Amino acid sequence: MNDAFRRVIADYEARARREEDLWASLPEEEREARRDEMLLPVGHAAGSLMNLLIRESGARRILEVGSSYGYSTAWLAEAARAVEGRVISLELSRAKTEYAHAQLARAGLEGYVEFRVGDARASLAALTGPFDFALIDLWKDLYIPVFDLLHPKLAAGALVLADNMLHPESFRALAQAYRARVRTAADMSSVLLAVGNGLELSRYR
């Protein structure tokens, strides 16, 4: 990890801290209306973990479902550079993708990521795979449909990481439904990790 990458991550995290203060000051009725403006990153521990998992497993074909503003994308791209891999990142918002691309360029990582803008389900359906690593972090009611599309496109030994399994509490029921779905698949093994906002780490056998 070079200095350019560290600076980008530090800037993301400084923005996240400012937004946390703003979020705390907002009336409850305004929070949902402004949620999409917020970075809402997976956090340093989760970012470090996914980076480590890719490096240690040698996963070269990496999928991100839900780029948002690109915090996770940067961690994935840095790992992709280390293993000579590539990230395909799916995001609905073109504006968010443009922001993410600009941050990747600052870190010298733009060459390791291909963005696909549009509905994640349609984008994923158009991909052939196989994928060695996938991060699922988009609207929580889409986790199960996305997993069902992703499942047949996983490589042997592939890892799937899903965020927001424990927090925020408003998504708890959807998170539990996702975990139940993954754990009913006979060819998947899973564990819930109390890292960041809670991560379900699943391995395809």
Query: What is the rounded CA–CA span in Å between residue 110 and residue 91?
Result: 16
Residue labelled with tokens 């391995």: 203
* C-alpha dist (Å) from residue 161 to 28, 38, 89, 100, 135: 30, 22, 14, 20, 5
Q: Which pLDDT value is given to residue 176?
A: 98
Q: Which pLDDT value is given to residue 140?
A: 96
Residue ranges covered by each domain of the chain: 3-204
201 band by pLDDT with thresholds 50, 70 and 90: very high
Angle at 125 between CA 197 and CA 170, to 5 degrees: 25
First to last CA, the chain: 31
**Each residue's pLDDT tens digit, 24-59:** 999 988 988 899 999 999 999 999 999 999 999 999
Enter the tokens of residue 197: 């906002």
Residue 55 host element (H or E): helix 44-57
Predicted TM-score (pTM) of the model is: 0.96
Average pLDDT of span 197-202: 98
Q: Which pLDDT value is given to residue 121?
A: 98
Residue 148 host element (H or E): helix 143-150
**Each residue's pLDDT tens digit, 106-155:** 999 999 999 999 999 999 999 999 999 999 999 999 999 999 999 999 99
Q: Which of 133, 9, 37, 162 is nearest to 93 (CA)?
A: 37
Q: Which of 145, 155, 139 is nearest to 181 (CA)?
A: 145
Percent of the chain with pLDDT over 90: 96
Q: Which pLDDT value is given to residue 29?
A: 85
144 exposure class (CB count in 10 Å sphere: 0-12, 13-18, 19+): middle
The CATH classification number of 3-204 equals 3.40.50.150
